[in-house]
């Protein structure tokens, strides 16, 4: 998989399913109390670290962005798929959404007070994850919290159909929390907490809370 290939495949796939995916995911948080609790903790961490703009990277149709806005955060969404951004703007016209890629965030250094990637790293190849986390660290201000949600497991699969039967071509990567935590530490983050969800499911989920340290906290 070359970089242009997987990025293009991911963008085109989510352009194709944007409307049906938005309909499928619209009420997902309502039935996910532990995910809502994690987002509430994240919102509190942003506030206690001083507040400010928050980036929802890989925001899809904007349902998590809107939820964080309801929790009082100054949040905006970024997604690779113009189709997803179009749906997000349609469904949440009062919020800011931009087309962009987490591999090269168009954000100034230290410009966001918090950042989350809520099940959006799952399409990033292993060899690219460290560079993405470097981007996250660059744009986070010192002391800013990071939340990452992902599928737990090992290996990858090629998803060729989804969300209403539309054709897709995206690789879905499952990872262990220990591996993701190791990547975060290598990128200069402090890992603060871990939540495992649906541990008995075929594909459990995990959320890691991390933080870009203040300079005085670093060795």
Banded model confidence at residue 21, pLDDT cuts 50, 70, 90:
confident
The domain ranges of the chain are: 3-157+182-217
- Look at residue 1 in the predicted model and tell me its pLDDT: 41
Q: DSSP assignment of 4-21, as one string?
A: HHHHHHHHHHHHHHHHHH
Long-range Cβ contacts of 50-54 (<8 Å, 24+ apart)? 50/113, 50/143, 51/113, 52/112, 52/113, 52/114, 52/141, 53/111, 53/112, 53/113, 54/112, 54/113, 54/114, 54/115, 54/116
The pair phi, psi for residue 136, each rounded to 5°, is -60, -45
Please compute the mean of the pLDDT values over residues 16-34 and round it to a whole number.
89
Q: Output the pLDDT for position 217.
A: 55
Question: CA 56 to CA 77: how far, in whole Å?
Answer: 5
User: How confident is residue 98, by pLDDT bands cut at 50, 70 and 90?
Assistant: very high
Give the separation between CA 51 and CA 113, rounded to whole angstroms: 6
Residue 106's pLDDT band (cuts 50, 70, 90) = very high
Mean pLDDT of 130-146: 98
Confidence of residue 24 (pLDDT cuts 50, 70, 90): confident
Give which of 99, 89, 101, 96 is closest to 54, Cα–Cα: 96
- What is the reported pLDDT for 219? 43
List the end-to-end C-alpha distance of the chain, in Å, as a whole number: 37
Q: Percent of the chain scored above 90 by pLDDT?
A: 81
pLDDT at residue 103 tops 60? yes
* Measured distance CA(120)–CA(102) in Å, rounded: 9
Main-chain phi, psi angles of 159, to 5 degrees: -90, 120
* pLDDT of the residue at 26: 87
Q: Strand, helix or coil at 177?
A: helix
Q: Which helix (H) or strand (E) holds 22?
A: helix 3-25
In the predicted structure, residue 57 carries a pLDDT above the cut 80: yes
Question: 197: closest CA among 39, 77, 78, 25?
Answer: 39
3-157+182-217 carries CATH number 3.40.50.150: yes
Q: What is the pTM of this model?
A: 0.93
């Amino acid at each position: 998989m070359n970089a242009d290939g997987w990025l293009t495949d991911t963008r085109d796939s989510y352009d194709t399913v944007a409307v049906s995916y938005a309909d499928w995911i619209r009420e997902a948080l309502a039935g996910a109390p532990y995910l809502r609790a994690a987002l509430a903790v994240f919102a509190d961490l942003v506030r206690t670290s001083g507040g400010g703009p928050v980036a929802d990277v890989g925001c899809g149709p904007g349902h998590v962005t809107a939820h964080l806005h309801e929790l009082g955060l100054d949040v905006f969404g970024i997604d690779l798929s113009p189709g997803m951004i179009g749906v997000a703007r349609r469904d949440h016209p009062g919020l800011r959404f931009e087309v962009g890629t987490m591999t090269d965030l168009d954000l100034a250094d230290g410009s966001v007070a918090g950042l989350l990637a809520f099940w959006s790293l799952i399409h990033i190849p292993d060899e690219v994850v460290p560079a993405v986390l470097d981007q996250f660290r660059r744009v986070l201000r010192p002391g800013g919290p990071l939340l990452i949600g992902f599928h737990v497991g090992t290996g990858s699969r090629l998803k060729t159909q989804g969300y209403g039967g539309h054709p897709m071509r995206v690789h879905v990567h499952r990872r262990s929390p220990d591996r993701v935590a190791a990547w975060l530490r290598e990128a200069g983050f402090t890992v603060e907490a871990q939540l495992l969800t649906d541990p008995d499911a075929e594909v459990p989920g995990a959320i890691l809370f991390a933080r870009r340290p203040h300079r005085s906290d670093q060795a």
